[in-house]
């Protein structure tokens, strides 16, 4: 039952992420938001993800009460989308609050998954998140005839996310003993945090410009959608079979994954118009995201006693600040050499790992 509830939580959580990331920008554009306003709205989530963990260093503890509050507040803010979406300022504030909630929910239950399932079964549960993301991307594209349909999907996915999160709390599996007196230090393992930042920064060009980059090199939009789907399928396969690998030296696995990521970005630079090579590059998503992500989470779990705060900062430093800066830099550097810059950022990430 634990495995089912965690898998269902991941499925609906990342289905909601899929609605938000893939379809919400189009919704805002259709109702009259300009590109600058859309950029501001979608910059808030990574910024909140980065800023929120600092509140928990000394002032707040991510306990069960805070976790439940974040769950219910996420439903409230999702419901308020219907009333705030037509006003840029109200919608911006609404998204900021939602970003804070989401920065608490996933780290809390990631610790739960690792503690109760172990490294062998974690990936098999987490892969349902990838399935949820892929399913919503395929389904909603066929039914998005008006903006509020996306809001309906997002609210439903969010409610189901909260339901399964509460089932985990009800069974008391989400409780991890807090360590109130333990101090949390970045400086003790600063090269690792630097590596996390630059690794995610290297994805800025991919997440924000891969579709544009490939279509400009003659690959059809339909085929690019297949490339995205193929990457997710490879990610799912890796998450299912990665268990034995995670019993090995975790730091070495992370180094290998970052090295493969450098190779991946160079393939996209050298062979931008080769469909075969682009599919090979997308297949490497199994290493540069799936195996890398799982190994980092488990490595941090072994590194720090304050495990929930470590996961919060992982999402904050990597996917928050790294994602935000990566998106900005990708916009500034977009062109023929965008994936050369991505490879350079990943190389800095790899070099940093040798200082750990």
- pLDDT grade for 25, boundaries at 50, 70 and 90: confident
Distance CA 51, CA 235 (A): 29
Instruction: Answer whether residue 48 shows pLDDT above 90.
Output: no
Sign of torsion over alpha carbons 40, 42, 47, 48: positive
pLDDT, mean of residues 128-146: 83
Distances (CA, A) of 146 to 26, 141, 158: 10, 11, 20
Please give the full DSSP string across 153-168, using - where no structure is assigned: HHHHHHHHHHHHHHHH
Residues of the chain with CATH 1.20.1250.20: 2-170, 187-353
- pLDDT grade for 103, boundaries at 50, 70 and 90: confident
What pLDDT is stored for residue 227 in this prediction? 92
What pLDDT is stored for residue 173 in this prediction? 52
Contacts 24+ apart (CB under 8 A), 263-268: 264/288, 265/202, 265/205, 265/206, 265/339, 265/340, 265/342, 265/343, 265/346, 266/339, 266/340, 266/343, 268/206, 268/210, 268/213, 268/339, 268/342
Tens digits of residue pLDDT in 328-348: 888 888 889 999 999 999 999
pLDDT, mean of residues 310-314: 86
pLDDT, mean of residues 60-77: 89
pLDDT, mean of residues 176-184: 50
The CATH T-level fold of domain 2-170 is Growth Hormone; Chain: A; (1.20.1250)
Instruction: Answer whether residue 181 shows pLDDT above 60.
Output: no
Residue of 179 and 99 predicted with greater confidence: 99
Distance CA 291, CA 302 (A): 17
Residue of 351 and 21 predicted with greater confidence: 351
Instruction: Answer whether residue 180 shows pLDDT above 50.
Output: no
What pLDDT is stored for residue 179 in this prediction? 44
- pLDDT grade for 178, boundaries at 50, 70 and 90: very low
What pLDDT is stored for residue 176 in this prediction? 47
Q: Which CATH superfamily, name and number, covers 187-353?
A: MFS general substrate transporter like domains (1.20.1250.20)
Tens digits of residue pLDDT in 231-271: 999 999 999 999 889 888 999 999 999 999 999 999 999 99
Distance CA 116, CA 82 (A): 37
Q: Answer whether 195's CB lies under 8 Å from 258's CB.
A: yes
> Kind and range of the H or E element at 15?
helix 2-18
Q: Is 217 helix (H, G, I), strand (E, B) or coil?
A: coil
Tens digits of residue pLDDT in 295-306: 999 999 888 888
pLDDT, mean of residues 107-136: 86
């Amino acid at each position: 039952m634990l495995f089912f509830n965690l898998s269902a939580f991941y499925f609906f959580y990342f289905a909601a992420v899929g609605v938000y990331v893939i379809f919400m920008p189009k919704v805002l554009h259709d109702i009259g938001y300009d590109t600058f306003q859309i950029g501001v709205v979608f910059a808030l989530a990574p910024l909140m993800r980065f800023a929120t963990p600092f509140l928990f260093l000394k002032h707040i503890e991510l306990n069960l009460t805070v976790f439940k509050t974040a769950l219910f507040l996420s439903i409230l803010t999702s419901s308020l989308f219907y009333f705030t979406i037509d006003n840029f300022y109200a919608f911006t504030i609404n998204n900021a609050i939602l970003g804070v909630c989401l920065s608490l929910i996933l780290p809390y239950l990631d610790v739960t998954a690792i503690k109760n399932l172990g490294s062998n079964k974690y990936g098999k549960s987490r892969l349902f998140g990838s399935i949820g993301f892929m399913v919503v991307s395929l389904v909603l594209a066929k039914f998005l005839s008006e903006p509020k349909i996306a809001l309906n999907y997002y609210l439903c996915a969010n409610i189901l996310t909260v339901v399964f999160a509460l089932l985990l709390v009800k069974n008391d599996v989400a409780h991890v003993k807090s360590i109130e007196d333990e101090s949390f230090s970045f400086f003790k393992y600063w090269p690792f945090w630097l590596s996390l930042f630059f690794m995610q920064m290297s994805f800025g060009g991919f997440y924000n410009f891969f579709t544009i980059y490939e279509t400009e090199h003659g690959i059809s939009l339909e085929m690019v959608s297949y490339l995205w789907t193929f990457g997710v399928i490879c990610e799912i396969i890796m998450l299912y079979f990665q268990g034995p690998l995670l019993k090995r030296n975790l730091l070495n696995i992370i180094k290998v994954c970052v090295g493969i990521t450098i190779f991946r970005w160079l393939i996209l630079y050298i062979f931008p118009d080769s469909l075969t090579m682009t599919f090979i590059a997308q297949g490497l998503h199994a290493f540069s995201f799936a195996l890398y992500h799982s190994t980092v989470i488990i490595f941090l779990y072994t590194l720090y006693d304050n495990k929930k705060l470590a996961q919060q900062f992982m999402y904050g430093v990597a996917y928050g600040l790294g994602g935000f800066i990566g998106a900005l830099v990708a916009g500034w550097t977009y062109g023929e050499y965008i994936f050369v810059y991505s490879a350079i950022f990943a190389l800095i990430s790899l070099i940093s790992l040798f200082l750990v």
